[in-house]
Amino acid sequence: MNKHSRSVSKKTTHFTRRNFLKATSLAITCASFSGHLLYSGIASSSAITAQLPKQIKHINYFEYQVLNHLMTIALPVRGTPLPSPKQVDAMVTLDQALLGGMEAHVLAELKQGIKFFEEGPRSNFQNKAFTQLSASQAIKFCDNWANSDFPQQRGIVMGLKKLVSLAYWSNPATWPTLNYIGPISKRKGIPALGNAPLPL
Amino acid sequence: MDKTVSSQTTASKKMPSSGLPVIEAKHINDKKIKLKADVVVVGSGAGGAVSAYELAKAGQKVIVLEAGPYIPSNQFSEMLAVGMGQLYQDQGGQSNTAKDFTILQGSCVGGSTVVNATVCFRTPDYYLKLWSKEYGTNNLTTESLTPYFEKVEKNLSIRRAVREEMSDDANLLVDGCEKANIPWKASRRNVRFCALTGACLSGCVTDRKQSMLVTYLPWAIAHGATVYSDTFVTRISEKNGQVTAVHAEIKDRESGIKKADMEIEATKVILAAGAIQSPLILLRSQIANSSGQVGKNYACHPSLSVTGYIPNLNQDFYGAWHSMYVDEFTLPEQGGYILLSGIQDPVEATLNVDPGTGKPFMDHMLESKNLIRVITLIHDRNHGEVTWENGVKKVKYEMHDKDFPHMIAAMKKAITVLFAAGATKIYLPTSNKTEINDPSEVDKVLDSLKNEPARYRYVSYHPQGTCRMGANPKQSVVNPYGESHDVKGLYVADASLLPTSIGYNPQQTVYTLASYIADHIVNKS
């Protein structure tokens, strides 16, 4: 992260997190799945919940691991001036802004989709779950599913990639590298017109 | 003093200069609220706001109920991510049951007019004639509606954009159209002194977009209307075929906890909650559905974005959001699609294509300044349905096999324009990486695409058709004047009226029909 984007990030972090905390976001599609798969070793114990970062409220530890792994391989920043997803707290944005306002039944379907996605690679990647794949394997798995013959696989990978991408790119700290300024009305002091005059 | 002048003078004094005196959930202390009104308007968007103003101006006591929050324009963020959470239905996450169509609607005081891209079209004569022939709406003709088109255009400052207002991407598309001999037009927009911020979709922070929030709603309030936000209509009641009351819950915005039950007695109810919520209210109320058509006939103008990479472009993402369009092929016999420019800022760009996972995607995003898109929007069949099942809304809609070829034709034309505009690479809005590097590849790639679920990144901005109007009570929900065939005094005044999809952005059609219906109500009184 360069000096410029660090400076922007400091100014915008408070605004963006406050707004993201108040207002959830974004068009996310994710095919619903009514499967009965379990994570290997999944359990909802307080010990496992305690390993979650403090700010994460809407997903459990294993769901966090899946989404975090996806975010890491889908958004590589090495060799660019871009901040890493960790530097902009993208997982917190994802949890609080994107998942926090979801209707309960939609969030439940998404969680089923995450399970399905985690178990998805086993048949073609030596019985490994998604979180066990190397970066190159995970990328290959995602690209395969994007072009799968099965609509659930296409829908889930498209939806999950949109989630992690939006959680990252909606943060203004990522914009300076793109030469995108963002909101300009306040920056330029453009005055508000108020309500239109009554028709005569 | 003449009565009209006197009324206008009184209204001018009550007219808020900015913002609205909305009664929000946080203002409510009573657990039960019982009111009486001449008219209850459900929904504060395009149809609701116009209805409220026209009827309040005519001396009716009007109460407007809006389920969404009141967000004053000075709280708009100009950031799409934040705007979706503030202003959109389901925070921008509304979709069909198959979850491969994102359905974007506003849910706030002012409705979708707060978050739309301002482009306005009069209802094509083609559809007015079709509706008359197939649905008996003989009263709705270009001649009868022209005074309403003109009134709305004057009230909302609708005018054609000039070249200087167009965004960088739109100017390139204009050049591309001219090189390819494709006629184009500058968009007609409801704006006053547009600041060209390119932030239409997250609400206009300086009130230049002439949404209902800054036009018909303050005017309605000036004439005595009252507006409640955070107020969810649960049902409408009727007795002996006459509407009697509207029942609602006022809910705390943050927690969703109910604060009050509300009942408003009224002999006239205008249902203008949009083509998804209006039928749901009628279905929950179990009224006005002898035709069995409530919720049926859903159409939505499926749209996709085709992206092009333009070398040496350094766009700034500002300008009129929908600056220009191509409607040479919009009527069904011509192709059934319209092409529109649309500023694609980097946040939106993350949703529209898949150049491959990982580095290819990041490389693509780093080229955001070079990426422009054409939005393809098609006229679709009214074959979907909105239902209420176990307390959950369901929008059952998929791309029809007979509509899909129109989308392919639209994408081919969009690609023609993009290559002519200087694009050297085209990205298609598929679930996987699909790129075209030369015009010679277009037919082969596009003709290989199949109509499959979860394969395309569809967005719909225009749900419509679910309480359609018509002369035959067995085939329609309301008559050609918007009144329910079954329940006197119950009207519909939103896009759910449209008997067929119209292939053009429908906001001006809704304003016009709402004006017309309100006039009819006033004249009937």
Report pLDDT digits (tens) over B180-229.
999 999 999 999 999 999 999 999 999 999 999 999 999 999 999 999 99
Q: What domain range is A72 assigned to?
A: 3-181
What is the band of B3 on the pLDDT scale with cuts at 50, 70, 90? low
Which residues in chain A touch residue B199, judged by CB atoms under 8 angstroms apart?
Answer: 183-185
Q: Is B3 exposed, middle or buried (0-12, 13-18, 19+ CB in 10 A)?
A: exposed
Count of domains observed in chain A? 1
Neighbouring residues of B156: CB distance < 8 A, sequence distance ≥ 6: B120, B190, B210, B215, B511
Q: How far is CA B311 from the centre of its chain?
A: 34
Which residues in chain A touch residue B368, judged by CB atoms under 8 angstroms apart?
Answer: 178, 180
Which residues in chain A touch residue B345, judged by CB atoms under 8 angstroms apart?
Answer: 180
- Restricting to B residues 267-326, those with a Cβ less than 8 Å away from any Cβ of A are 314, 316-318
Distance from the Cα of B473 to chain A's closest Cα (Å) equals: 36
CB atoms within 10 A of CB A174: 26
CA distance A140 to A146: 10
A141 located within any domain: yes
Distance from the Cα of A103 to chain B's closest Cα (Å) equals: 8
By Cβ distance, the residue of B206, B219, B362 closest to A193 is B206
CA distance B517 to A169: 45
Give the pLDDT confidence of B287-321 residue by residue, as tens digits: 999 999 999 999 999 999 999 999 999 888 999 99
What was the ipTM of the complex prediction? 0.94
CA distance A70 to A161: 8
- Put simply, whether A189 touches B (Cβ < 8 Å) is no
Beta carbons of B346 and A169 less than 8 Å apart:
yes
CB B330 within 8 A of CB B503: yes
Which residues in chain B touch residue A16, judged by CB atoms under 8 angstroms apart?
Answer: 82
**Taking CA atoms, what residue in A is nearest to B94?**
A27
- Restricting to A residues 40-59, those with a Cβ less than 8 Å away from any Cβ of B are none
Calculate the alpha carbon distances from B325 to A21, A149, A155, B166 in Å.
37, 35, 31, 11
By Cβ distance, the residue of B101, B354, B365 closest to A178 is B365
pLDDT score of B426 more than 90: yes
Which residue stretches of chain A have pLDDT < 70? 1-50
Beta carbons of B455 and A151 less than 8 Å apart:
yes
Q: Going from the N-terminus, what domains does chain B have, and what CATH number goes with each?
A: 19-92+104-157+202-299+464-525 (3.50.50.60), 158-191+303-379+400-455 (3.30.410)
DSSP string, B215-246: THHHHHHHTT-EEE-SEEEEEEEEETTEEEEE
A12 located within any domain: yes
Q: Is B453 exposed, middle or buried (0-12, 13-18, 19+ CB in 10 A)?
A: middle
A195 located within any domain: no
Q: What is the pLDDT of residue A38?
A: 34
Closest CA to B513 of B152, B262, B224: B152
Which residues in chain A touch residue B429, judged by CB atoms under 8 angstroms apart?
Answer: none
Beta carbons of B357 and A80 less than 8 Å apart:
no
Length reported for chain B: 525
pLDDT score of B1 more than 90: no
- Put simply, whether B455 touches A (Cβ < 8 Å) is yes
A192 located within any domain: no
| pLDDT > 90 in chain B, percent | 93
Give the pLDDT confidence of B7-55 residue by residue, as tens digits: 777 777 778 899 999 999 999 999 999 999 999 999 999 999 999 999 9
- Put simply, whether A123 touches B (Cβ < 8 Å) is no
Q: What is the pLDDT of residue A22?
A: 31
A75 located within any domain: yes
**Taking CA atoms, what residue in B is nearest to A102?**
B90
By Cβ distance, the residue of A143, A178, A184 closest to B368 is A178
Which residues in chain B touch residue A196, judged by CB atoms under 8 angstroms apart?
Answer: 155, 157, 192, 207, 210, 214-215, 218-219
Mean pLDDT over each residue of chain B, to the nearest integer: 96
Q: What is the pLDDT of residue B456?
A: 97
- Put simply, whether A5 touches B (Cβ < 8 Å) is no
A187 located within any domain: no
A35 located within any domain: yes
pLDDT score of B174 more than 70: yes
CB B467 within 8 A of CB B482: no
By Cβ distance, the residue of A162, A183, A195 closest to B17 is A195
Beta carbons of A76 and B15 less than 8 Å apart:
no
Which residues in chain A touch residue B197, judged by CB atoms under 8 angstroms apart?
Answer: 183-185, 190
Q: What is the pLDDT of residue B2?
A: 55
- Exposure on the CB side of residue A158, measured as CA atoms within 13 A: 34
Closest CA to B73 of B220, B210, B231, B224: B210
Which residues in chain B touch residue A22, judged by CB atoms under 8 angstroms apart?
Answer: 85
What is the band of B103 on the pLDDT scale with cuts at 50, 70, 90? very high
A133 located within any domain: yes
